[in-house]
């Protein structure tokens, strides 16, 4: 991956990077990246330092050396390397603002990091990595509205960026955007599995599906739906009511099905309610995430998708259900792995 990034940097338009590495220097940088990828950070650093000794204006060598220092937790050296290079920065040096901000943030200088990210975005307003880094910094400070918009900037360009889906889902959840939060967290789970984070997110999805619904007696289920939900990210109030009814039905079926089967049925049914028909859905998730789920629905694979994203919870009945639906799960798993960055590609 790092080698591909380097190749992209070398091929970038002169107006963007305006580098002048010789062919030999490019080879030394590529070798350094290979050393970095194999965990030989000291040797990698020597390669990048050698190029910078010959060519102090090599943005690629400086960028790679900064990433190497970061991997070594040498944040002060990273800062000292990059600050002089961005002092009078133009578009040529825009690539350096992300690693500089990251190193400042790791040194506990979040206010300085924020300024650096903003300077970078002033030069490249739609840069996805700068947008993401600034969003994370603002998220930590509780500036959720701006962070939310920055994450959208990132995801419009990098739909497969796992951590951006995670962060946006968490912001939506904190700000009580129930449907958008669920969709972003599900999109995250389509990209990451088998981690502590994916298990926690799967639990959050189940909580969102069941929000406001609880059993109050052997034959009674209580539903409390917000009559005035937030609508800045689209009006999903009717769908929220439908999801509440679905949650109530799942609770009523407790004695008839395993917990895993009930939850798979509930989640796949809730997604069906969202994507049935061809009409456009509102807001960012309507633009970017609904088409992804609609393709899965059209291929009649929503149950398999639901089973995959719920698997981290290891609910009772998971193993039995999965054995009975092994073929469908295999197809869905293959598709997800092949289209990690896609939003709407036909499902087999």
pLDDT digits (tens, 9 = 90+) for 143-172: 999 999 999 999 999 999 999 999 999 999
Separation CA 14–CA 92 (nearest Å): 8
Phi, then psi, of 342 in degrees rounded to 5: -95, 155
Residue 6, pLDDT > 70, answer no
Question: pLDDT at position 173, please?
Answer: 97
Minimum mean pLDDT range among 22-36, 188-202, 213-227, 333-347: 333-347
Please give the backbone phi and psi of residue 14, each rounded to the nearest 5 degrees, phi first.
Answer: -55, -35
Question: Residue 228 half-sphere exposure, CB side, CA atoms within 13 Å?
Answer: 0
Cα separation values, 46 from 26, 50, 78, 184, 331, Å? 14, 6, 14, 41, 46
Calculate mean pLDDT across residues 66-74: 98
User: 347: Cβ–Cβ under 8 A, 6 or more apart, which residues?
Assistant: 295, 296, 298, 299, 301, 331, 332, 335
pLDDT band (50, 70, 90) for residue 8: very low
Q: Answer with the residue of higher pLDDT: 311 or 221.
A: 311
Q: Are 320 and 258 in contact (CB under 8 A)?
A: yes
293, two tokens:
């789920």
Which domains, from first to last, does the chain contain? Answer: 2-180 (1.25.40.10), 205-338 (no CATH)
User: What does the alpha-carbon distance between residue 273 and residue 116 come to, in Å, rounded to a whole number?
Assistant: 44
Lowest mean pLDDT among 81-90, 138-147, 224-233, 281-290: 224-233
Q: Please name every residue paired with 223 in a beta bridge, in sequence order, or none if there are none.
A: 213
Tokens matching residue 9? 């940097």
Tell me the mean pLDDT in the region 120-141. Answer: 96
Residue 17: band (very low, low, confident or very high) from pLDDT cuts 50, 70, 90: very low
Count, residues in the chain: 348
State the burial class of residue 241 (Cβ atoms within 10 Å of its Cβ: 0-12, 13-18, 19+). Answer: middle
CB contact set of 32 (below 8 Å; sequence gap of 6+): 43, 44, 45, 46, 47, 48, 51, 64, 68
Percent helix, strand, coil in the chain, to 5, is 70, 5, 25
pLDDT at 167: 98
Please, what sign has the CA dihedral across residues 98, 99, 105, 110? Answer: negative
pLDDT tens by residue, 251-304: 877 778 899 999 999 999 999 999 987 788 889 999 999 999 999 999 999 999
Average pLDDT across the chain, whole number: 89
Q: Which of 10-14, 66-70, 218-222 has the highest mean pLDDT?
A: 66-70
The two structure tokens encoding residue 61: 């060598």
Q: How confident is the model at residue 341 (pLDDT cuts 50, 70, 90)?
A: low
Work out the angle between the directed axes of helices 59-71 and 41-54 (0-180°, nearest 10): 150
Higher pLDDT: 227 or 17? It is 227
In this predicted structure, the answer to whether residue 348 has a pLDDT above a threshold of 60 is: no
Range 248-253 average pLDDT: 81
Confidence of residue 345 (pLDDT cuts 50, 70, 90): very low
Q: Which of 163, 124, 201 is closest to 151 using CA atoms?
A: 163
pLDDT interval class at 313 (50, 70, 90): very high
- Name which of 44, 1, 50, 64 is nearest 22 in CA terms: 50
Q: What is the mean pLDDT of residues 339-344?
A: 57
242 versus 338: which is more confidently predicted? 242
Which region holds residue 17: left if phi is over 0, alpha if psi is between -120 and 50, else beta? Answer: alpha
User: Checking DSSP bridges between strand 220-223 and strand 213-217, what pairing results, if any?
Assistant: antiparallel
């Amino acid at each position: 991956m790092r080698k591909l990034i380097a190749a992209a940097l070398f091929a970038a338009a002169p107006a963007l990077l305006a580098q002048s590495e010789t062919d030999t220097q490019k080879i030394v940088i590529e070798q350094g990246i290979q050393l970095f990828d194999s965990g030989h950070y000291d040797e990698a650093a020597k390669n990048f330092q050698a190029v910078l000794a010959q060519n102090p204006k090599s943005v690629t060598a400086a960028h790679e050396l900064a990433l190497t220092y970061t991997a070594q937790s040498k944040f002060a050296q990273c800062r000292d390397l990059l600050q002089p290079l961005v002092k009078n920065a133009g578009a040529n040096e825009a690539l350096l603002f992300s690693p500089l901000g990251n190193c400042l943030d790791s040194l506990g200088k979040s206010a300085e990091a924020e300024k650096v990210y903003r300077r970078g975005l002033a030069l490249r307003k739609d840069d996805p990595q700068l947008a993401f880094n600034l969003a994370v910094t603002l998220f930590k400070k509780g500036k959720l509205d701006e962070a939310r918009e920055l994450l959208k900037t990132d995801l419009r360009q990098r739909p497969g960026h796992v951590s951006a889906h995670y962060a946006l889902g968490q912001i939506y959840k904190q700000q009580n955007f129930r449907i958008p939060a669920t969709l972003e967290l599900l999109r995250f789970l389509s990209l990451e599995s088998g981690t502590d984070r994916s298990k926690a997110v799967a639990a959050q999805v189940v909580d969102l599906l069941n929000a406001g619904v609880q059993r109050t007696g052997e034959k009674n289920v209580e539903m409390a739906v917000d009559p005035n939900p937030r609508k800045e990210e689209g009006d999903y109030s009717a769908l929220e009511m439908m999801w509440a009814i679905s949650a109530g039905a799942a609770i009523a079926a407790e004695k008839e099905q395993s917990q895993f089967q009930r939850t798979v049925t509930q989640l796949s049914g809730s997604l069906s309610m969202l994507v049935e028909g061809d009409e456009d859905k509102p807001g960012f998730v309507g633009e970017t995430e609904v088409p992804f789920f609609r393709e899965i629905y059209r291929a009649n694979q929503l149950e398999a998708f639901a089973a995959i994203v719920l698997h981290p919870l290891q609910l009772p009945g998971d193993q039995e259900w999965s054995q009975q639906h092994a073929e469908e799960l295999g197809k869905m798993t293959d598709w997800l792995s092949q289209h990690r960055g896609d939003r709407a590609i036909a499902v087999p």
